[in-house]
Amino acid sequence: MISNKLIAAAATTGALLMSPMAHATLSITLNPCADGVATCPSTITPTQQFSAQGLQSNLYSTLVINSNSGTTGFTESGTIAVTSFNSGGTTVANTGITGLDSTSSWLMNGTFNISGSGSWSGTQYNASTTGLNFTLDLTAVNQLTHATINLGTATWNASQPTIGFAIAFGSLSAGSSGTGFTSLTASMNFAPAAGTSGFFVAPSPFDIMLAFGNAGGNTLNTSYSVDSTGKVTVVVPGTGATNAGTANVSFAAPVPEPGALSLAGIALVGLAFAGRRKARKSA
């Protein structure tokens, strides 16, 4: 799933209706050749930068649901391996930046952990947003020095809708196994690690959301198994599968909290009123 890896299955099963996450698309400027992140080949301009509105990545995850019926807890952990950066549906850079070819000097990865509870409806497990914990740590791996640089951490934005589910295409009785499906949609608040301003060039200050969509595994790469106690384990890629899951992320501007918008409105009304009084006195 990621257990909140969740989304596409809703379209195929009609089981869930999702409220779209309303975010303004944001273009981020990155410089993978920044000092401390990567040592780029001498043939590459030291400040080679590019802008992107999102990224695509491969997904590797293990979801454990504590029981095969009723309301129960779950944990999920895994990684995303960024394969490309995109803007307007077009690939603008691969993981090593277009032009670095096989000598790419860096790779970008993410490690995530999710925990919470949910309930079974037939063979579909639906995660609840109540008590949900979801974090994603982004790192850059220098392919030349093999050093790993911490880029920052993204945490789940509880004010935005999140939907997560997993489907088992078969029996959930103890000892059963088969193929499955997982999907996730979620908004994450990202905070860059100190010292990584060279990697994230703009906007500054860096304040964005990572909007996950189409993240999960399909029937060709997801498998599940149920142990003797009823614990369900869902793996992407599953037994015998060679292709990973997918995790697509878009960069979005943060949406102000309703309270913040109200305060801003009150402030504007106050300024307008003060301006009127000043105009009357001048008259």
* Residue-wise pLDDT tens digits, 46-103: 456 788 888 888 999 999 999 999 999 999 999 998 888 888 888 887 765 433 334 4
Query: pLDDT-based confidence at 41, cuts 50/70/90?
Result: low
Handedness of CA 228, 230, 234, 238 (dihedral sign): positive
Of 59-63, 116-120, 194-198, 239-243, the poorest mean pLDDT is in 194-198
- Top pLDDT among 172 and 51 is at 172
**What pLDDT score does 112 carry?**
94
Give the three-class secondary structure for 282: helix
Give, for 199, the enclosing helix (H) or strand (E): none
**What pLDDT score does 194 carry?**
75
Query: pLDDT-based confidence at 125, cuts 50/70/90?
Result: very high
Of 123-127, 165-169, 170-174, the poorest mean pLDDT is in 165-169
Q: What pTM was computed for the model?
A: 0.77
**What pLDDT score does 121 carry?**
95
Query: pLDDT-based confidence at 208, cuts 50/70/90?
Result: low
- Top pLDDT among 8 and 126 is at 126
Structure tokens belonging to residue 201: 């060039």
Q: Which residues pair with 183 in a beta bridge?
A: 165
Give, for 139, the enclosing helix (H) or strand (E): strand 133-142
